[in-house]
Structure 1
Amino acid sequence: MITAIKQAIQMVLSGDSQLFQIIGVTLRMSLTSSLAALLIGVPPGILVSMYNFKGKNALIVLNRTLMGLPPVVCGLLCYMLFSGNGPLGYMKLLFTVKAMIIAQVILITPQIIGNTESYMRLICDDIRATALGLSLPKGKILLLALNESKYQIISTYLFGFSRGIAEVGAVSMVGGAIAFKTNVMTTAIMNYTNRGDFTMGVALGMILLAMSLILNCSVYLIQGKVNK
């Protein structure tokens, strides 16, 4: 074990091309999917928290259900959609990074909506009072809500990104963990460990843990600003 750790550290410091290619695919996938999920999820999260309408509670329950969607189920649905016999098979997305991004967007978006809705519910009364006092139209109320929750939105994005880099089930199913194409850090750790290549697995695990530590420290600092 100690030998594997030493070799893993040497691999990281030497700038192993295969190692950093896997990291590059992971970052491309996770950054894109978490940003897309943020853009899709924040507006409905704000609207659901600030306005009352028919079916609101049903939407909240549905979203909370989707927040617990197992990644392998998401992967199965995406696989069926993108396979040759599926309705979107003509797009030839199966076993591509694009398919992995779509699967992650499906997984992350409910988390973004839920986090945004929970936070906005705490400050929506203050926003309504400010908007009423300034006689703001609905469009500007949304902009005011975005401004008041900017740190929380950044924190939510980092949360989505951390979910993206740690996910394995869905991306493995729709990406196929193809070397030099769709192999990401989580699937690579699993594959290299199964093959007995502990050096690469440990190296990727160390980098993944370091990324997780940086993300959690960033979220902690941002949450401190939110709570002030």
Structure 2
Amino acid sequence: MARPLLAVAAVAVLVGLVLLWGARIAANRFVYVSELGADGEPTAWAFRWSLLLIAVAALIVAAEATPLRSRVRILALITPSVSLLIAGAAFALASQITCTSGCPLPVGASFTWQDFTHTVIAVLGFAAACVAMLQVATARDHPRLARLSMVSAVVVAVVAGTGGILSLARFMQHLGGLLEFAATTVALLWLAILAVALLAAVPTEASATAERASPVSGRVG
């Protein structure tokens, strides 16, 4: 069952990404990702389905990524599977608990518990995904996947960090929105590639039969 599930996960991530960008194009204005799902937005349905698909994909990959371990002590306190499990659960919740119209920052006069809850859950999910990326980037025995994950982690950290600062400063928000979408795109493509890499490492029925006769250790990446 692992192979078809991982294939489903890879497709689900890509469909979710297409939905997000389709909604972004349909919005026809500069927005942050969460604004697509805000109360009253015509793109809210696409946002919810996108996050649900991404959540399902993250949970599937989490279940199949148990062999991955970081060689860095602090990152090895939990496994990439746990980080992806947290991310998947957070995305699922964020798809249902969306922000209010305009997605204001939950501070000062604009504070609402709905916005606060969505913001906390969304940040937690994205942070958990970034931790998973770093964990895979420092994983043992998977050099190619580790290099790809390190590049993705650096790009996401720099791009998302810059977009977040612009959002908090309420400065050049059009650029901040584009940067957030770029970081999200890189992160989701990484998740899809991870699903494919794990799928490639799962032996087919024929190779599994051969391995039982002559065991050979498989590698991811």
Give the TM-score of the pair, scaled to structure 1: 0.29
Larger Rg: 1
* Higher RCO, Cα 8 Å, sep 6+: 1
Which structure: greater helix fraction? 1
TM-score, structure 2 normalization: 0.30
